[in-house]
Structures are given as C-alpha cells and as structure tokens.
Amino acid sequence: MAATSIFKFITTVATTHTIHRSLAATSYSQKFCLKLHQKSFAGYSRTMTTGASCVRETEGDLFGAPKDHSLAHCVAADLKMGGGIAVKFKQVFGKVDDLKAQKIGVGGVAVLRDPPRYVYYLVTKNSSYQKPTYADLRKSLEAMREHMAANGVGKLAIPRIGCGIDGLEWDKVKEMLNSVFGEEDTGDGGKYEIVVYNFVPK
C-alpha cells in the first residue's frame, strides 16, 4: 500500500509539473505573438504616416500660374480636346498638329515647349468619349516625371487632373501624385512641387 501511495504521489507531482510547464509555455507564446503584432502594427503605422507630400492646393486661375511652373492636363490619344479644361489648353497653346505628330499612345505624355516652361498632355485614354483608368493615369504621370527629371523641371501647375469629365476621384489621384512625385527628387537633388488650381476659368 505504501509503495502504491508513493507511486501515485510521484505521478501526481509529475503531472502537475507538466501542466505548469505547458501553461508557462502557452503564456510565453501568447506574449511573443502579442509583441510581434505590436511591432507589425507600429511598422504599418510608420508606413502610413511618413509618406512625403508634394501637392499643394490653391484657388485661382491655372493659366495665371508663374512662368517657372510647367503645366499639365489629361487628353485622349485622338487629341480632340473638345471638353473641360482641355478646350482652354487648345485655345491658349494650339499646335495640335505638333502634338499629333508625336504619336503618343495611352500611358504616355505629349509635350509642347512654351519657354521657359513645358506644357504636358497626359494621354490617359484612346478616345475622347472614353473614361481613363487609374493605371493609365499613373503610367502617364510616370512618363511626365521622367521628362521633368531629364529637363530640370521641378515645379508643376495642374487642375484636378482626371477628376472633371473624366470622373476619377480626387482623393485617389492626389494620393497617386504624392506616390509618383513625393519620394523622388528632380534629378538635381531638389523636390517636386505640384500646385493644384481648383478654379477653372470659363
């Protein structure tokens, strides 16, 4: 009987010890996972809050922007420019045949020289009757950025591109502008400055 009791006692102690070790391991595992989650969330928060902003909005006439600011707007590959602010660009700068001669497709950018600046025509769709996609707008913006970097252009004045008759959402387009230009330099170590004019003259 004594031997049996001793055996039961030893078994109970061993089982209790195993349970305690298991609980301790579980607690450690939970704490470790919690720390990983906290680190991951902190990293995500930093990513969300450290993006550089190069876009500034203002009220006024886009065509009254300082001459050291190049201009840009969206067009179709057919270059009809029959609606929205494109009509004003066509009236002011003309040279539609020069633009057509460049034969720029969707996702590219046609360029006119208006010393001392450039005028950019972001080709975001094939036909004037179509709507652009965010993907094609981004490609055109990246093409424009390449030209700007190669030609020392750091300042740009634009309307709310793609958000008039083209129907894109300004918050998404603004975020895209900051993504394309905010983390890049102008080629000479400077930063891009994009001024958005919210008033479109009639």
* Closest listed residue to residue 166, CA positions, set 60, 61, 73: 73
Catalytic residue among 88, 125, 139, 174: 125
Asked whether 137 and 176 are in contact (CB, 8 A), the reply is yes
The Cα-based distances of 188 to 43, 110, 172, 184 in angstroms read 31, 23, 28, 11
Catalytic residue among 88, 136, 166, 174: 166
Residue 8 annotated to the active site? no
Residue 108 β-bridge partners: 123
Q: How far apart are CA 112 and CA 125, in angstroms?
A: 19
Angle at 45 between CA 41 and CA 46, to 5 degrees: 120
Amino acid in the structure at residue 119:
V
Residue 166 annotated to the active site? yes
Asked whether 161 and 173 are in contact (CB, 8 A), the reply is yes
Could you write out the DSSP letters of every residue in 121-151?
Answer: EEEEESSTTS---HHHHHHHHHHHHHHHHHT
Structure tokens at 8: 């039961």
Q: How far apart are CA 110 and CA 101, in angstroms?
A: 10
Which residues are identified as catalytic?
125, 166
